[in-house]
């Protein structure tokens, strides 16, 4: 790895590494997904600057209970969680976004010596690092802007003697199919190494009315977030999607235990990505995202297949959300 080529020290108080792949470079992958019998786009394309802003708005919506439930758990349990990390540690946060989740942990973990934040969107990540570096001058901060759906060589904090703890909040693990989730959990286990930990948040299975309301808010913010993927492909891949010709659809698939998000074509139409045409029938959908929901026992079995053992788990008072702490086998 060419450290000098990748490292971009933008501030004196933290390091920042930009490893994004331009969306235009992913045009073959996007076209392949749109030409399948069941069209799909990867959820990683949601998160340009506007997409990240819309997701932050979603997290404030009354229907979207996930963020509030997880934040409440972290605020109430932070000291209890940090007490499990007896040695000086480094926290590696996947999909960090804002400070609301890592903040309580850093405040409680007085033995934290380093923090590595990984996120797909640079603007929220830079704001987070600025804020944290100012608040915790004795912690070494590093930010990595990248997609962690695929294998990623992460610059790890030094010294290597620090105990490494992966932190994966926000129920983002639910966006992965089972085999993809297993692969990511295995990479996390390899990254933290022997004696390392994983604190992960996931959404619990519950009444479908609660689940579906969370992804069909009354203000239409989730619909705008879903359609923004088309806007991004338009300006980054020279496409001509008309978002008014697509409807947002989100529903709970009880058989597969997941929320599915789709964009449904309102009319028969031809869309172009550059010079490449893509045909849509009226009523045909693009599958844009899944959000799997778990029972704690099921998630523990999944994690065990990836090399993790349960240490503790916590649910909120309404049994909506779970924080689960594991250590490597």
Domain count, the chain: 1
Domain-embedded: residue 279: no
Domain-embedded: residue 149: yes
Average confidence (pLDDT) over 210-233 = 98
Most confidently modeled range among 82-96, 107-121, 280-294 = 280-294
- H or E element: which one contains 102? helix 99-108
Q: Indicate if the pLDDT at residue 116 is higher than 80.
A: yes
Contact criterion met (CB below 8 Å) for 93 and 99: no
Q: In what order do the strands lie in the sheet with 308-315?
A: 14-18, 140-145, 112-119, 89-94, 163-168, 197-203, 321-328, 308-315
Domain-embedded: residue 13: yes
Query: With a threshold of 0.75, does the pTM exceed it?
Result: yes
Please tell me whether residue 219 adopts helix, strand or coil conformation.
coil
Average confidence (pLDDT) over 213-217 = 99
Average pLDDT, the chain: 92
Q: What is d(CA 290, CA 206) in angstroms, rounded to the nearest whole number?
A: 16
Domain-embedded: residue 214: no
Please tell me whether residue 84 adopts helix, strand or coil conformation.
coil
pLDDT one-digit tens code per residue, 221-231:
999 999 999 99
Between the two ends of the chain, the Cα-to-Cα distance in Å is 29
Domain-embedded: residue 34: no
Q: What is the sign of the dihedral through the CA atoms of 193, 195, 201 and 202?
A: positive
Average confidence (pLDDT) over 177-190 = 96
Residue 79: which CATH number?
A: 3.40.50.150
Domain-embedded: residue 319: yes
Domain encompassing residue 12: 3-20+61-206+295-328
Residue 241's φ and ψ, nearest 5 degrees, are -60, 135
Domain-embedded: residue 161: yes
């Amino acid at each position: 790895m060419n450290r000098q080529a990748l490292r971009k020290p933008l501030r004196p108080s933290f390091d920042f590494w930009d490893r994004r792949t331009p969306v235009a470079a992913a045009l073959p992958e996007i076209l392949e997904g749109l030409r399948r019998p069941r069209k799909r786009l990867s959820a990683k394309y949601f998160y340009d600057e506007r997409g990240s802003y819309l997701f932050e708005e979603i997290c404030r919506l009354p229907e979207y209970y996930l963020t509030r439930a997880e934040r409440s758990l972290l605020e109430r349990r932070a000291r209890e969680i940090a007490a499990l990390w007896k040695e000086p540690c480094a926290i590696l946060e996947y999909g960090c976004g804002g400070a609301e989740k890592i903040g309580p942990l850093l405040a409680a973990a007085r033995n934290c010596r380093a923090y590595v934040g990984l996120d797909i969107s640079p603007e929220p990540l830079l704001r987070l690092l600025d804020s944290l570096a100012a608040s915790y001058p004795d912690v070494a901060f590093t930010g990595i802007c990248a997609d962690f759906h695929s294998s990623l060589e992460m610059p790890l904090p030094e010294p290597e003697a620090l105990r490494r703890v992966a932190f994966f909040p926000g129920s983002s693990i639910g966006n992965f199919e089972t085999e993809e989730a297993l692969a990511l959990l295995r990479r996390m286990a390899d990254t933290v190494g022997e004696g390392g930990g994983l604190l992960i948040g996931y959404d619990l299975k519950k009444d479908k009315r609660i689940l579906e309301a969370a992804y069909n808010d009354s203000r239409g913010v989730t619909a705008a977030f879903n359609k923004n993927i088309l806007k991004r492909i338009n300006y980054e891949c020279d496409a001509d999607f008309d978002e008014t010709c697509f409807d947002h659809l989100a529903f709970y698939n009880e058989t597969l235990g997941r929320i599915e998000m789709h964009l449904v074509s309102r009319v028969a139409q031809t869309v172009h990505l550059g010079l490449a045409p893509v045909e849509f029938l009226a009523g045909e959908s693009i599958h844009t995202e899944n959000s799997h929901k778990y029972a704690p026992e099921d998630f523990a079995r999944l994690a065990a297949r990836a090399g993790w053992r349960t240490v503790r788990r916590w649910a909120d008072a309404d049994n909506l959300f779970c924080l689960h702490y594991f250590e490597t086998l």
